[in-house]
Structure 1
Amino acid sequence: MLAAMPPTSPTPVNRDEAPVRERGDACPGALRLHAADDGRLARLRLPAGVLTHHQAGVLEAAAERLGDGHLDITSRGNVQLRGLGESCGGQLARVLYDAGLLPSEAHERIRNIVASPLAGLDRAQSSAHSVQLWSKELDGLLCASAAATALSGRFLFALDDGRGDVAALGADVTLLAPRYDTATLLIQTNPSGWRVPATDAARAALAAAEAFLTVAAAGGSGAWRVRELPAGHGLDAAVTERLAEAGIPADHVSAADQEPRPVSGPPALGAVRSPDGTVALSVQAPLGRLSVAQWRLLRTAAAAAGDTETGTAYGTLRVTPWRGVVVPGLAPDTADDLLDRLRTAGLITTPDSPWHGVGACTGRPGCAKSLSDVRTDAAQVAQVARALPPPPPGQRAPEPHHPHLPVHWSGCARRCGHPQGTSWVDAVATGEGTYDVTVRTARQDPRTTATPQQAVRAAGRPAAGQDLADAVAAARTTPTMTR
């Protein structure tokens, strides 16, 4: 029996009081496995979400032989293996190393780099390809930096091709590519930034991260992320100094001096026509989880694209921060058939799927902190969900790039993996099968990556099943003032 309890008001947070971290970051990695209730968990960082089809095959085999037969996609475009045995860590490390997925053991948890998934695939744009080059260069620079090993496993870099998708994810360091020869360097929610040559963009991102480490150490807060630094931290001045020391030409620009930035959401689902005449397929995994069979379909498609095309973008998968996968470089005469096979296999290929925009944490039985089996609860609601109604005439949609607000089911108040950079329906378990339902609204200035959130009343007291589904559906069409 599922029930939504009356929503509660959020506890005010004093942003001027930064937390003091008294321990190191315990974020899991590919070598530091997390002991979950359903076995060991490995989290593999994938800069820009890119995997060759061979690497995807290695993960497929590892999930099948060592794990529970599934691959989970995180909200940072990384891949997790669950249900691992206690003694398989060494074997997993060896296969990942042989596949080129562990370039540096000391840096493997800090390679958190997201990039615009459709960069260079859906439009002709001179700067579009640069984010993939930035990702490779930045990853190499991180792995060569002894100082960077002090970054937490939660510190995030975002490389945006100018469309404003990953720039909205609240990364600690963002590179925005509005023009071919320059990039804008941004620090978390600060609306001002630095304009640097595009050829120096990756070095500038590393310089900003190292400046953060200097400021965090001097402040004594043990901050893992920029937003945890205390007020008056002086990071801007430290970044300016570090850029100068690195010999990177940089012009500090205020928010008022910058052009308004586009803001967009996840990549469109389905077939995406590329300027070179090929087709990219964009799909999402229900609740971010793929079976080995589903993953194999995607990997096989990438291998076919690699066999028929010579471009560097092909023969790869791009895992997205919206728990999706993009397969670029497909021949147009094969794309429609493959898309239909992916749909039949249970992947999300259209926005009218009842699974579109639905996310969840692990919940029970994998997480001991969870108060409910949130994935089963979310699945039950999806099965009885009615078609989401369009907004009434004259009323704008909840979000300009989403027909309906995304919903995230959480087993506890930690809300692991919840959406970033957008308004969303927050369903938090308060007990076995009972949920607090609110809408978290993001008020965003297109010139910034800031997304301060507040909770508003979204649902009454539905009793069970269909009532809860109706309550969540109603919350997903709640108008929000995001701009």
Structure 2
Amino acid sequence: MTRASDRCPGVFSTHRAADGRVARIRLPGGRLRPDQLDVLARLADDHGDGHLELTSRGNVQLRALPDEAVDDVAVAITAAELVPSADHDRTRNLVVSPLTGRIGGLADVRPVADALDASMSAHPVMPLLSGRFWFGLDDGRGDVLALRPDLVAIAVDDRFADLAIGGRPVGRRLQWAEVPEALMSVAAAFVDVADGAWRIADLEAGARVQVVEAATGFGSGRDVAGSPPTPDRTPLVGWFDQDSPRHNSDEGNGDGGSVLLGAVVPLGRIPARLARFVAAVDHPVVITPHREILLCDLTPGVADTVIRVLAPMGLIFDADSPWVTTTACIGAPGCAKAFADVRTDAVDAVHDDPLPADRHRHWVGCDRACGSPRESHDLIRATADGYVHDSIDR
């Protein structure tokens, strides 16, 4: 198949929207240092619309950038170590179990994420991938596999991982040390047969078989019988006690008794001032693919202070809030393709009916349905004749 190049924005290749340029900053594993969050908040205030926009892949976007600011923004983001190079900007797509190494899971996959990110940031195959191609590391709870990245290593324990391609286990068991090289090799095999395809799911059956065969040089074969892990999709919103510390030396205090706070903001848009206050807490931040904001490795006293100070500013720590299950694309006037100002309509709907939804509701301005969740949800889609409600089951 032959397909046009995808238009996924990056830092060096921004997208021109109706409200200005859009820069997408990819966060491997959703991880942000406090100083990096502060830089992004200041850029949003100085050059953008005053918000950080969270995406359904755990990334961050700056919107409404004027043309003349794009180069300065890219320089600042590069200086903050948020992008390795222009060549690897749009393809550094890596999702990691958000709680790994802190709460549950069969392995702490953060060291593997670091090694894989280093490989992704240097490997010559990466610039040849589309901006939609997605790598994943699942710590055994099934949360990443459920998102169906193109290539996923799923923890069996702290020594071994099973490989999934296109969302399906393929019968290869790898040592964790093999994972970065194995995923890069399979990605290279995808590039060889892609013929314009953006993702594994876009391949013809024969080409997909060739990609799977590229994995046979790694690990050992195994029986694929059995079901993959089923994830718990309880929102990561509220107060969570972390496990006994397994932190890296630069993450957390390592003295036990740590707390993780999870929060959301309306429509996944963090006001820059609030983002600067989150950065001032000076602890690791993780952005999840469900647009949750995790503040990690806190002492109970600090966690209590964070809630008392940041909740009145708009950070929502209530898992029953309707904002946990309400999202929207940018809509009009920011997107020229949109038939409606879906964000305003979504806010009005939540205010009219503030009870928590029993199912995720995603508002979109056109048939493209940007930012849609990967789980079952209700799609509220604007058309030229008004809104249409679709039930999406996955």
Note whether the superposition's TM-score is higher than 0.5.
Answer: yes
Conserved in 2, the CA contact under 8 Å of 1:266 and 1:322? no
- Residue 253 of structure 2 aligns with which residue? none
Return closer, same or farther for 1:267/1:178 CA change in 2, 3 Å cut-off.
farther
- Residue 270 of structure 2 aligns with which residue? 290
- Residue of 320, 342, 346 corresponding to 1:378: 346
Partners of 2:14 and 2:211 lie apart in 1 by: 34
Conserved in 1, the CA contact under 8 Å of 2:172 and 2:219? no
Aligned-pair CA distance for 1:319: 1.0
Conserved in 2, the CA contact under 8 Å of 1:406 and 1:425? yes
Return closer, same or farther for 1:184/1:115 CA change in 2, 3 Å cut-off.
same
Return closer, same or farther for 1:21/1:349 CA change in 2, 3 Å cut-off.
farther
1:309-347 Cα deviation digits (max 9, x unpaired): xxxxxx321111111111111111121231233322222
Paired residue secondary structure (2:393): strand
Partners of 2:51 and 2:95 lie apart in 1 by: 22
Partners of 2:60 and 2:181 lie apart in 1 by: 26
Aligned-pair CA distance for 1:237: 4.2
Alignment of 1:332-347 (within 5 A): 332-347=300-315
- Residue of 224, 230, 243 corresponding to 2:204: 230
Aligned-pair CA distance for 1:199: 1.6
Aligned-pair CA distance for 1:243: 4.9
Partners of 2:102 and 2:235 lie apart in 1 by: 11
Return closer, same or farther for 1:342/1:211 CA change in 2, 3 Å cut-off.
same
Whether 2:7 is the aligned partner of 1:37: answer no
Structure 1 portions without partners, runs of 5+: 1-19, 304-314, 389-402, 443-483
- Residue 322 of structure 1 aligns with which residue? 290
1:135-168 Cα deviation digits (max 9, x unpaired): 2111111122112210000001121111111210
Aligned-pair CA distance for 1:283: 0.7
Whether 2:345 is the aligned partner of 1:367: answer no
- Residue 467 of structure 1 aligns with which residue? none
Partners of 1:58 and 1:354 lie apart in 2 by: 30
- Residue of 181, 198, 222 corresponding to 1:203: 181
Whether 2:45 is the aligned partner of 1:64: answer yes
Worse-superposed segment, 320-329 or 261-270: 261-270
- Residue 80 of structure 2 aligns with which residue? 99
Structure 2 portions without partners, runs of 5+: 244-255
- Residue 181 of structure 1 aligns with which residue? 159
1:26-76 Cα deviation digits (max 9, x unpaired): 211001111111111100111001111111111111111111111000000
Paired residue secondary structure (2:87): helix
- Residue of 151, 154, 163 corresponding to 2:141: 163
Return closer, same or farther for 1:241/1:437 CA change in 2, 3 Å cut-off.
closer
Partners of 1:163 and 1:249 lie apart in 2 by: 21
- Residue 213 of structure 2 aligns with which residue? 240
State the aligned residue count: 382
Paired residue secondary structure (1:165): coil
Alignment of 1:131-146 (within 5 A): 131-146=109-124
Partners of 2:75 and 2:98 lie apart in 1 by: 29
- Residue 406 of structure 1 aligns with which residue? 360
TM-score, normalised with respect to structure 1: 0.76
Partners of 2:216 and 2:74 lie apart in 1 by: 36
1:52-101 Cα deviation digits (max 9, x unpaired): 11111111111111111110000001100001011112111111111111
Letter in 2 for 1:414: R
Paired residue secondary structure (1:158): strand
Paired residue secondary structure (1:203): helix
Partners of 2:384 and 2:142 lie apart in 1 by: 38
Alignment of 1:73-152 (within 5 A): 73-123=54-104, 127=107, 129=108, 131-152=109-130
Partners of 1:211 and 1:297 lie apart in 2 by: 44
Aligned-pair CA distance for 1:365: 0.6
Return closer, same or farther for 1:418/1:192 CA change in 2, 3 Å cut-off.
same
Q: Percent identity?
A: 38
TM-score, normalised with respect to structure 2: 0.92
Aligned-pair CA distance for 1:409: 0.3
Aligned-pair CA distance for 1:251: 1.7
1:267-323 Cα deviation digits (max 9, x unpaired): 52111101231111111121111101221121112x1xxxxxxxxxxx321111111
- Residue 280 of structure 2 aligns with which residue? 300
Whether 2:390 is the aligned partner of 1:438: answer yes
Whether 2:257 is the aligned partner of 1:277: answer yes
Paired residue secondary structure (1:105): coil
- Residue of 213, 233, 247 corresponding to 1:265: 233
CA RMSD of aligned residues (A): 1.8
Aligned-pair CA distance for 1:126: 5.5
Whether 2:219 is the aligned partner of 1:249: answer yes
Conserved in 2, the CA contact under 8 Å of 1:283 and 1:349? yes
Conserved in 2, the CA contact under 8 Å of 1:373 and 1:411? yes
Partners of 2:56 and 2:3 lie apart in 1 by: 26
Letter in 1 for 2:162: T
Worse-superposed segment, 198-207 or 286-295: 198-207
Partners of 2:355 and 2:42 lie apart in 1 by: 38
Conserved in 2, the CA contact under 8 Å of 1:165 and 1:266? no
Paired residue secondary structure (1:80): strand
Aligned-pair CA distance for 1:191: 4.3
- Residue 319 of structure 2 aligns with which residue? 351
